[in-house]
């Protein structure tokens, strides 16, 4: 349905933050095939806290993916090389039967 031509690496965060409250990377990582669409129009979305966010890219993972907002997503931006960011928005895309067919992630 959606071509998954790019690959991203998800680095899972530790359950505890460092002393500054920043998520800590663990050695656990998984590489996924995704659809990666860049925000070329500099569109703005509203975050959960009500602040406006200019996001970098939208990723579509096949099926349900065990992601949290503390995890790190590493992808090739095409211009600046490898970029590592935390997800800003994570939500499932379901079919008519309620089955999760894609997980949409905005970074």
Four-point Cα dihedral 35, 81, 20, 107, nearest 10: -20
Indicate which CATH number applies to the domain containing 75. Answer: 2.40.10
Dist CA 8 CA 107 (whole Å): 12
Closest by Cα among 84, 98, 89, 50 to 69:
89
Tokens of 25: 């990377």
Say if 43 falls within a structural domain.
yes
Say if 39 falls within a structural domain.
yes
> What is the tens place of the pLDDT at every residue in 92-106?
999 999 999 999 998
In the structure, what pLDDT confidence band is assigned to residue 1 with cuts at 50, 70 and 90? low
Average pLDDT over residues 13-23: 76
Report the b/e string of 65-94 with b at 16+ CB within 10 A.
bebeebbbbbbeeeeeeebebebebbeeee
> What is the tens place of the pLDDT at every residue in 31-59?
999 999 887 666 677 766 777 777 788 99
The answer to whether the beta carbons of residues 56 and 50 sit under 8 Å apart is no
Give the residue numbers spanning the domain of 71: 6-106
Say if 1 falls within a structural domain.
no
pLDDT at 41: 64
Instruction: Give the total number of structural domains in the chain.
Output: 1
Say if 94 falls within a structural domain.
yes
Which one has a higher pLDDT value, 2 or 82?
82
């Amino acid at each position: 349905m959606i071509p998954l031509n790019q690959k991203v690496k998800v680095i899972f965060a530790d359950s505890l933050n460092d002393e500054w409250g920043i998520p800590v990377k663990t050695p656990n990582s998984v590489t996924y095939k995704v659809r990666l669409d860049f925000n070329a129009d500099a569109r703005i979305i509203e975050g959960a806290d009500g602040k406006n966010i200019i996001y970098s890219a939208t990723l579509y993972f096949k099926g349900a993916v065990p992601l949290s907002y503390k995890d790190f997503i590493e992808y090739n931006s095409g211009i600046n090389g490898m970029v590592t960011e935390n997800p800003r928005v994570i939500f499932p895309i379901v079919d008519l039967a309620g089955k999760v067919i894609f997980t949409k992630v905005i970074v």
